[in-house]
Amino acid sequence: MNAAPNSRFGWFAVFTLAWTVAWCADLIEAWRHAPYDRTGFAAALLWLSAVALLPRRGQPAQLWLIAAWLGSLLGVMGALHVAQHLAVVCAVCAWLPGHLPRLLAAFSALAWMPAFGWLLAACPSSAVNAARLVVASVALGAALIPRFRPVPVHP
């Protein structure tokens, strides 16, 4: 996250990211104890790896930061963990360039959220945990594709 020290907006974006992550301490307990969420931490690491490989913008997208604050405030006031998790996603995606990488990162973030296990509660926990890792791995693979495109050689 390249926030220029002389850019107040850049520091605000870093603060927004730190704020939203701080309100997601519930994730650690869910990842440790819930049978449907055991691979959530690994999925989060894969997701963050994918996001880290995508190029970042000079200045974060303001609309995504506003969405992060709204989600965070809604999550804190209403004790809605899913809103707090979505706030983290918005704060991270604000740094990505263009709509397609942001949407890919936002949709693939579901892999590390406890809501993923809740949505697939009818399935066995082993299938849900495997699906988490598949979704996060696909996101990582999609982020790697532009890195390994062959460079045309001109004589």
Note the pLDDT of residue 3.
47
Q: Which of 47, 44, 38 is nearest to 24 (CA)?
A: 44
CA 3 distance to own-chain centroid: 18
Q: Which amino acid is at 89?
A: V
C-beta of residue 65 within 8 angstroms of C-beta of residue 90: yes
Reduced to 3 states, what is the DSSP secondary structure of residue 96?
Answer: coil
**pTM exceeding the 0.85 threshold for the entire prediction:** no
What whole-number distance in Å separates Cα of residue 114 and Cα of residue 12? 28
Question: 42-98, pLDDT tens digit by residue?
Answer: 999 988 887 887 777 678 889 999 999 999 999 999 989 999 999 999 999 888 877
Which range has the worst mean pLDDT, 1-10, 33-42, 73-82? 1-10
pLDDT at 127 exceeding the cut of 90:
yes
- At 60 the pLDDT is 85
Identify the pLDDT of residue 5. 43
Task: Output the pLDDT for position 147.
Answer: 61
Question: Mind spelling out the 3-state secondary structure of 97-143?
Answer: CCHHHHHHHHHHHHHHCHHHHHHCCCCCHHHHHHHHHHHHHHHHHHH
